[in-house]
Structure 1
Amino acid sequence: MKPIKRSRLRLMAGSHYFKLKRRLVWLFGNAKYAVRLEKEELPITTSKHHTPLLRKLKEVDMWLQYNKITNLKIAIQQLDKITIYPGETFSYWKLIGNPTKRKGYVEGMVLFYGGFKPGVGGGLCQLSNLIYWITLHTPLVVTERHRHSYDVFPDANRTQPFGSGATCSYNYLDLQIYNPTDEPYQLVLCMDDAYLYGEWRTTRPPLHTYEVYEKEHRISQEYWGGYVRSNAIYRKMYNLDGTLLADELITKNHALMMYQPFLEAEDMRRVYEH
């Protein structure tokens, strides 16, 4: 997990290579991608969640947060009410497309090799994180998800386990979700002044409920002096009378910590400038 420093040229070359590779997969791969945005909402909500739009983070200018809201509004227009029919695959970036200035996207916060910087379309990870989280509470199958390699900011009022998000970068860090069921699943998204909301809807009441939780959480100091945060995300599945049917490993996370671990409460408040 020791950080690897790469030149700007190496990063650019790698980015172009993986973007081309993704386009070829989209064109010639075997997946049938979801494309239909339905006008009406399906009747049954299977899972939902909401996350705050604004957080005060140390050294992060608030204009980046407000610009993120602009970017989220544009991206939501491409995803709201997208319906995954049986056998189809949802691709986050295939639906949103390249977030460019021409489309109205502005500079938001982009996480970059353990830090952050302004970047056009920045902030869309909040949307992919939300979609990933609500998907874990459905029978849909996540076929592609990328974890965050760096833990940039300390926890503050966290309501989800560490490592339960999905980072994104056009177009090679994608979030893809397959529908193995016999029912369509519809993604419904919206925003108000304070929160981003998301839910999966379908046509029949669900047969199972899900509980997502973490195990094996630890922070370790590495031989080179830095710290690595690790855990495992598990999911329990119950039938409607509460009987446990399965307890499965979803993913394991490892992230380089970019702040001093084991901070006291007062130090945490300073970091978040509350």
Structure 2
Amino acid sequence: MSRAFNAMKPRKRSKWRLFAGKRYFTWKRYLSWVMGIEPGKLATIRTDEPLEHEVFTHSTPLLRSLRNVDMQLQYNKITNLRIAVDQLDGLMLRPGERFSYWRSIGKPTKRKGYLDGMVLHYGGFRPGVGGGLCQLSNLIFWMTLHTPLTVTERHRHSYDVFPDEQRTQPFGSGATCSYNYLDLQLMNHTDCTYQLKLWLDDSHLHGEWRSTENPLYHFEIYESDHLIHLEPWGGYIRSNSIRRKKLTRFGELAGDELITENHALMMYAPLLQTESKVESSFEMNQRSENF
């Protein structure tokens, strides 16, 4: 375990290394799109008419007070979210089909109206076109964990950048995104059609998964094994497990499975007096991410 944590020690990489690495992963993804090697038929059909049954709904606030972050970047994020939501709202995920976050949204560019939002970068943040779209991928991932849909690709955030104030979800329950190599992909292995509904109001980003059938089970997501480690090289590593209970309509336990294990480099001083108070984070990937 300590060897794995030691591997998370930050390493300074040259600008050329960062540039070359990002281009490599970007073109690798483009190649997989062209060759059609990703499994399942891509979901592309959208409809405004909502399916009959609500499976799960969730919402997250559009604005947060973050230290040393220009609020204009968050206002710009709202514009970015509106553009992306317009590309996803009403998307149908039929049996055997695959959802790809970036294939559905496309590349965020200024020409499409995207603005500079906040992008996480090596434990800090900087402006970037399309910044803030991570809030949408986080929302979709969290909602999907409460459905029978299968997550086939998901990436963790690089660092635990901000304290847990105002957070309502467990640490490590998000899904970072960066065009196009950090994608969120889902598969529908059920016999039902699912529909993704998304919208914004003045204060929140809202989402729903709907279905043609009333689900037989519902799910509860919870955190276990939360720890904070002080490493010999001076950094704090935060870790936990995300698990999921599968419950029948009558509340009977039908299963309990591990979703993921998380390890994150903390970028602020942890409050160690009561370990149970620390609940959420961003994790490590050593690549820029839309926040």
Structure 2 length as normaliser, TM-score?
0.89
Deviation string 1:169-192 (CA, Å, 9 cap, x unpaired) is 000000000000011111000000
Deviation string 1:147-189 (CA, Å, 9 cap, x unpaired) is 1120000001221100100000000000000000011111000
The one of 52, 62, 80 aligned to 1:71: 80
The residue identity in structure 2 corresponding to 1:26 is W
Describe the shift of the 1:227–1:30 C-alpha distance in structure 2 as closer, same or farther (beyond 3 A).
closer
The one of 14, 17, 41 aligned to 1:10: 17
Deviation string 1:82-139 (CA, Å, 9 cap, x unpaired) is 1111101100001111100000000000001100000000000000000000000000
Deviation at 1:27, TM superposition (A): 2.1
Alignment check: 8 A CA contact 1:70 1:105 kept: yes
Aligned pairs for 1:144-155 (under 5 A) are 144-155=153-164
Alignment check: 8 A CA contact 1:149 1:254 kept: no
Kindly indicate whether residue 188 of structure 2 is the aligned counterpart of residue 179 of structure 1: yes
Give the length in aligned residue pairs. Answer: 266
The residue aligned with 1:21 is 28
The one of 106, 112, 115 aligned to 2:115: 106
Aligned pairs for 1:26-175 (under 5 A) are 26-28=33-35, 29-31=37-39, 32-175=41-184
The residue identity in structure 2 corresponding to 1:27 is V
Question: Which consecutive residues of structure 1, in runs of 5 or more, have no partner in the other structure?
Answer: 266-274
The residue aligned with 1:201 is 210
Kindly indicate whether residue 220 of structure 2 is the aligned counterpart of residue 234 of structure 1: no
Moved more, 25-34 or 213-222: 25-34
Describe the shift of the 1:149–1:30 C-alpha distance in structure 2 as closer, same or farther (beyond 3 A).
closer
Percent identical among aligned pairs is 65
Deviation at 1:30, TM superposition (A): 4.2
Measured in 1, the distance between the counterparts of 2:225 and 2:92 equals 36
Structure 1 length as normaliser, TM-score?
0.95
Alignment check: 8 A CA contact 1:46 1:206 kept: yes
SS in 1 for 2:92: strand
SS in 2 for 1:36: coil
The residue identity in structure 1 corresponding to 2:187 is Y
Measured in 1, the distance between the counterparts of 2:228 and 2:82 equals 36
Question: Which consecutive residues of structure 2, in runs of 5 or more, have no partner in the other structure?
Answer: 1-7, 275-291
The residue aligned with 1:254 is 263
